[in-house]
């Protein structure tokens, strides 16, 4: 006898960098009961640059096609903030749709933009682990989306294997220094960073909303899948929106 299965509420797929080591844990940690999270990886070396991310776009469709080929996936998301802003939301969605034509296709930068709009942020400070060549593109991308970036601060890390090792305690202090008094919100950019662990405390310390990549991504894909659950303990976005 068949029942509805373990993931009867929604099935969400994520296409990750081959080097990714943080997102899977965060998505499993945040997912509500009855929601399935499924992962595939697109090839990239352990170097996060504009050039490497641009070349890596060519493997997104293949990677997406390995996710639940029975056609039951509801949403597919490219889980890389820097990659999605370098490649662009439109091309990311087109590549994912080639691999999973029946799922709603989105990206991490689309999730961030949606999250910032949901909290009504217009002026944002940004903390990243990236090289300046990516930071410059991030400022342009966010400002093209209608935000004013009051400051962007990057750790100048190139390797994904270094980004995943930045301690939450150090990240919290770095993020505090990246914030500006005139920002409506602070955004900690990058799915590799362990920012999820520090969101609530940072919001209390700063007295303003804090968005991080993986928090925004789970919020975004759940809402796209029609799941309205509120999740406490990881910032105002998941708790109130």
64 shares a domain with 90: yes
Q: Which domain holds residue 209?
A: 111-213
185 shares a domain with 139: yes
> Which residues of the chain form beta strands (DSSP E)?
10-17, 35-42, 75-78, 104-107, 123-128, 148-154, 185-188, 210-212
What pLDDT is recorded for position 21? 98
103 shares a domain with 17: yes
pLDDT, tens digit, for every residue of 186-219? 999 999 999 999 999 999 999 999 999 999 999 9
143 shares a domain with 201: yes
133 shares a domain with 90: no
185 shares a domain with 144: yes
- What total of structural domains would you count in the chain? 2
Q: Which residues pair with residue 123 across a beta bridge?
A: 148
136 shares a domain with 197: yes
Answer whether residue 1 is part of any domain: no
Give the integer Cα–Cα distance in Å for 197 and 101.
Answer: 34
For the whole prediction, is pTM greater than 0.75?
yes
What pLDDT is recorded for position 117? 98
Answer whether residue 238 is part of any domain: no
Contact 123, 94 (CB under 8 A): no
104 shares a domain with 18: yes
Low-confidence stretches of the chain (pLDDT beneath 50): none
Contact 14, 37 (CB under 8 A): yes
56 shares a domain with 95: yes
Helix 213-224 to helix 23-30 angle (10° resolution) is 50
**Cα-based distances in Å from 15 to 19, 33, 127:** 12, 21, 23
81 shares a domain with 67: yes
What pLDDT is recorded for position 135? 98
Q: Check which CATH number belongs to the domain holding 43 and give it.
A: 3.40.50.12500
Answer whether residue 81 is part of any domain: yes
């Amino acid at each position: 006898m068949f029942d509805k299965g373990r993931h009867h509420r929604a099935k969400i797929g994520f296409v990750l960098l081959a080097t990714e080591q943080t997102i899977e844990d965060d998505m499993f940690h945040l997912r509500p009961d009855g929601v399935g999270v499924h992962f595939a990886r697109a090839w990239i070396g352990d170097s996060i640059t504009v050039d490497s991310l641009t070349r890596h776009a060519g493997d997104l469709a293949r990677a997406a096609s390995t996710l639940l080929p029975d056609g039951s996936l509801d949403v597919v998301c490219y889980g890389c903030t820097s990659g999605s802003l370098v490649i662009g939301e439109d091309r990311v969605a087109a590549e994912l749709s080639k691999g999973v034509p029946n799922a709603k296709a989105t990206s991490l930068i689309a999730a961030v933009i949606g999250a910032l709009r949901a909290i009504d942020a217009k002026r944002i400070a940004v903390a990243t682990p990236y090289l300046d060549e990516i930071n410059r593109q991030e400022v342009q991308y966010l400002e093209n989306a209608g935000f004013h970036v009051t400051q962007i601060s990057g750790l100048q890390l190139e390797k994904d294997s270094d980004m995943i090792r930045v301690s939450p305690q150090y990240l919290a202090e770095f993020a505090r220094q990246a914030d500006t008094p005139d920002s409506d919100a602070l955004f900690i950019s990058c799915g590799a960073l362990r920012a999820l662990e520090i969101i609530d405390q940072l919001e209390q310390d700063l007295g303003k909303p804090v968005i991080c990549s993986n928090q925004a991504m789970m919020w975004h894909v759940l809402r796209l899948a029609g799941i309205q659950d509120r999740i406490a303990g990881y910032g105002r976005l998941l708790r109130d929106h």
